[in-house]
Amino acid sequence: MSEKEISVPYSELGRLEIRCPKCAAGFVIDLASSKLPPLGGGRDFARQCPVCLQPFPEQTLGALVLYQRFLLESRKGELDIHFRIKTE
């Protein structure tokens, strides 16, 4: 079986679904939205589960902050950035 890929513009990969490791509740966050303030503040909603209030691992917020920064900074550049995603 040969591996196939699709090419997706980075701008289409800003909406993420995050699931709590404790209660499995999920929420969607649009990191590419210009209405969403930059993550990383002390009162960030992405620090804990909105349902059970379990704190997320610190690495979770760090990864979200970096990905949001990538999305926002990529808009400023002139590169045509796409993700290559394997399909079956």
Task: Give CA 6 to chain center in angstroms.
Answer: 19
Instruction: Quick: pLDDT tens for 18-54.
Output: 899 899 998 888 888 878 777 776 666 678 888 999 9
For residue 49, give every residue at least 6 positions away whose Cβ sits within 8 Å of its Cβ, in sequence order, or none: 20, 22, 23, 25, 56
39 or 15, greater pLDDT: 15
pLDDT given for residue 60 in this prediction: 83
pLDDT (0 to 100) of residue 52: 93
pLDDT of 27: 86
pLDDT category, 2, cuts 50, 70, 90? low
Q: How close are the terminal C-alpha atoms of the chain, in Å?
A: 9
